Amino acid sequence: MMKVLLIDDEELSLEVMEIMLCKLNDIEIVGKYTNPITALEDLEKVQVDVIFLDMEMPGMHGLEFAEKIVEKYSHIEVLFVTAYPQFALEAFEVNAIDYLLKPVSMKRLQKAIKKIEEKLTLYQSREELVDANTSKQDLYASFMSSFRLFDYQNDEVKWRTKKVKEFRCVDYLFYSN
C-alpha cells in the first residue's frame, strides 16, 4: 500500500487529486494539507512514501519544501502537481520523481504512480538486501546526485564540515571492502 500525502493551497485541487487517487489500487491518502508549513511539522507523525506537492503556495514555495524533504526525509519521494510548467527543471534538481501539470489526466497520473511503485519496489529490495548482508557497524553509500553515506538504520551520516566529508568520502571509497 503506497502512503500518499497531498499538499496544495487550493482545497478544490486537493479534492480532485484525492478522487483520482482513490480510483487507483493500493493507495492510501494519509493526509491533505493546504498549508505546507503545517504539513512539514506533521510529517514526523505519519508514515509517507510520496508527497504530491504544489509549487506556488503561501508560506513556502514547493521547491523550498522539497529541499527540506530531501535533507530530512530522503526516503520520501516528491511528485509535483502544479499549473506552472516553468519550474520543471528546478523540480528535478531537488530529485522529484515526476512533474504533473494541472489539470492532470488519469492516464498521466497512472504513469506517474507506476514510476513511483517501481522505485519503491527497488528501495524495498535494496533494504532487504542490506538487512540480510549487514551488521550494525556497516555503512552504505549513495552516489545519485552527490555522495551520501548512511548507517545501518538508514540515517544519513552528518559531517562537521565539508572538508571532513571530503576526507571521509575518500577513506570510504579506497579503504572499504
* Domain edges within the chain: 2-129, 134-175
Instruction: Give CA–CA dist 169/124, Å, rounded.
Output: 25
Is the whole model's pTM more than 0.75, yes or no? no
Instruction: Give CA–CA dist 3/132, Å, rounded.
Output: 25
pLDDT tens digits, the chain, 177 residues: what are they?
A: 999 999 999 999 999 999 999 999 999 999 999 999 999 999 999 999 999 999 999 999 999 999 999 999 988 999 999 999 999 999 999 999 999 999 999 999 999 999 999 999 887 777 666 556 655 556 666 666 676 777 767 777 776 666 555 555 555 555 554
Write down the CATH number for the domain with range 2-129: 3.40.50.2300
Q: Dihedral angle at the C-alpha atoms of 165, 171, 173, 177, nearest 10 degrees?
A: -140
Sequence-separated (6 or more) residues with CB below 8 Å from residue 157: 139, 148, 149, 150, 151, 168
Q: How large is the angle between the packed helices 106-133 and 11-22, nearest 10 degrees?
A: 70
